Amino acid sequence: MNIKSLKSGQEILFSGVIYTARDQAHKRLVDIINNAGAQNFVPLPFDLKGQFIYYCGPTATPKNKVIGSCGPTTSSRMDEFVEPLLKKGLLGMIGKGRRSKKVRNLIKKYKAVYLLAPAGCGALLAKKVLSKKLVAFKDLGPEAIYRLEVKDFPVIVGIDSLGKDTYEDLCD
Amino acid sequence: MNIVKLKNQVEKAVARASFNLRPDVKKLLKRAYRFEKNTRARKALGWILENARIAEKEKLAICQDTGLPIIFIEAGKDVNLSGRLIREIEKAVESGYRKNCLRPSSTEPLIRKASYQGVIFHVEFSNAKGLWITIFPKGFGSENKSQLKMFKPTVSIAEIEEFVVSAAKEAGPESCPPFIVGVGIGGTSDKALLLAKKALIGKVDRPNSDKVLNGLEKRLFKKINSLNIGPMGFSGKTTCLSVKVKKAPTHIAGLPVGVNISCHALRSATIKV
């Protein structure tokens, strides 16, 4: 996907791989990055370069289903963790709601993108997931990192790579 | 009272609350969909209605945030309410969550270990007969935007309205609009917030039987819908689906006002035992 061609407010159907991570997983990822080179150094559980993180903690997977309900959670809680991940090459974030001015500027700086998934539509989004695989932090339960393969996952471009925000009028 | 039957009923109510969008909420969403002109806002409302259809059909949670389970109990005069009965209801709520693959969104507050525990009870006694149990799973995208203000007793109604509208404005796209806004006026600080939450349990598509509160609800509804936040924050006419206000006597020295916002996925199920 050519990130730079995406324009804020544009609707797209995303197909590809996304990694779920929310509050606690972000804290751990950033701890790992900050701890790099230390004696008890552990590598990141997956290479962030060119990847998308989805702010989501799905419900448990019901029998005969790929995944449970899996809508986006509020992105702004992850604002403070964004920079180190972008530095590691993260390409995009998917969530719901507004971001801070700082995140807007970081997205512009690193030529990344922020996508909005339909908020409160976890059942609808579950139908767009083809596979789910545990990647890291199993002990976090629904907050663990999962690799999801999605097809025609509906999203709206929240902040494009030029830093233009579709919620401009609602932001300070 | 047959405990096995009771637990079974509670488990089913947990599933119903999480899988089936309330008919009153669905009705207001459909009305908004017909009414909305903004293309992206209509798209968002379409997603929300489609989501409700899939959730019901596939028995998937309407939202992955299956909330903190809040249980409202209304015990009639013929009910012998015991600690044991409450514990059985609590266990049934937990097993209802587990059996239906609902996310354990509860966690220990400081070390933050996820668990199914943390059921919150509010018990009231009534003069009617029977035991009424309401399961109210409250998601935190909207709960995080709750507000309380301790006004002076001389405050004007216009100032109260301003406060409620600003709470809805601050809730913004993160709290999953269109909202259902609960307002509690009076009591103590805790009571005002509880009233605001209880306002969301009753049918939200009906006018308030109290004339003053009904007028207040109508004015707030209009003002919040002119904020132009719209479904999922995509602007449009529908920022809230309904505003519900409850009141209680308060102290001569103050006037607490609580605001509890619900996302569009307002969920609850009530059973009579």
Number of domains into which chain A is organized:
1
Tell me whether residue A171 is in a domain.
Answer: no
Residues in B lying within 8 Å of A, measured between beta carbons: 40, 43-44, 47-48, 50-52, 54-55, 58-66, 100-105, 112, 114, 141, 144, 172-176, 228-229, 232-235, 263-265
Which pLDDT score is estimated for B116? 67
For tokens 């006004």, name the residue: B151
Residue A13 placed within a domain: no
Q: Would A86 be classed as within a structural domain?
A: yes
Tell me A61's DSSP state. Answer: P
Distance from the Cα of B201 to chain A's closest Cα (Å) equals: 19
The pLDDT assigned to A40 comes to 78
A8-20 pLDDT per residue, tens? 999 999 999 999 9
Domain range list for chain B = 140-266
pLDDT, one tens digit per residue, over A1-10 is 789 999 999 9
Closest residue in B to A117 (Cα–Cα): B232
Whether A35 and B43 have beta carbons less than 8 Å apart is answered as no
Question: Which residues of A does the annotation mark as catalytic?
Answer: 26
Report the CATH number that the domain containing residue A68 is assigned in CATH. Answer: 3.20.130.10
Q: What is the mean pLDDT of residues A77-86?
A: 98
**Nearest Cα residue in chain B from A74:** B174
Mean pLDDT by 10 residues, chain B (273 residues): 93 97 98 95 97 97 95 95 93 95 86 76 94 96 96 97 98 97 98 98 97 98 97 96 98 98 97 93
At A36, is the pLDDT very low, low, confident or very high (cuts 50, 70, 90)?
confident
Quote the tokens at residue B117: 């525990």
**DSSP-assigned letter for residue B236:** S
Q: Rounded to 5 degrees, what angle do the CA atoms B10, B14, B16 make?
A: 110
pLDDT at B158 (0 to 100): 97
Task: Match 């751990």 to its residue by tokens.
Answer: A28
The chain A residue lying nearest B170, using CA atoms, is A170
Q: In terms of residue numbers, what domain contains A119?
A: 20-34+45-166
Q: Do the domain assignments include residue A6?
A: no
Answer left, alpha or beta for residue A120, where phi above 0 means left and psi between -120 and 50 means alpha.
left
A167 contacts chain B (CB < 8 A): yes
Asked if the structure places residue A172 within a domain, the reply is: no
CB neighbours of A96 closer than 8 A, spacing ≥ 6? Answer: A55, A71, A72, A73, A74, A75, A116, A117, A119, B141, B173, B174, B176, B232
For the ranges A25-34, A148-157, B110-119, the lowest mean pLDDT is seen at B110-119
- Chain B residue with minimum CA distance to A122: B63
Q: Which residues have a Cβ under 8 Å from the Cβ of A57 and sit 6 or more positions away?
A: A20, A22, A73, A142, A143, B64, B103
The predicted structure's pLDDT at residue A11: 95
Distance from CA of B54 to the nearest CA of A (A): 6
Asked if residue A2 belongs to a domain, the reply is: no
Which residue of A56, A124, A125 to mutate against B (max B Cβ within 10 Å)?
A124
Closest by alpha carbon to B119, among B13, B35, B20, B252? B13
Query: Is A14 among the domain residues?
Result: no
Q: Do A123 and B233 touch (CB under 8 A)?
A: no
Residue with tokens 């009534």: B126
Q: A41: pLDDT confidence band, cut at 50, 70 and 90?
A: confident
β-pair type (B131-138, B269-272): antiparallel
- Contact yes or no for A167 and B173 at CB 8 A: yes
pLDDT at A162: 97
**Which A-chain residues 78-117 have CB contacts (< 8 A) with chain B?**
96-98, 116
A5 located within any domain: no
ipTM over 0.95: no
The answer to whether the CB atoms of A96 and B65 lie below 8 A apart is no
**DSSP state at residue A172:** -
Q: Tokens 């998308």 label which residue?
A: A52
Helix (H) or strand (E) holding A150: strand A145-159
Mean pLDDT value of segment A27-33: 96
Q: How far apart are the first and last CA of chain B?
A: 8
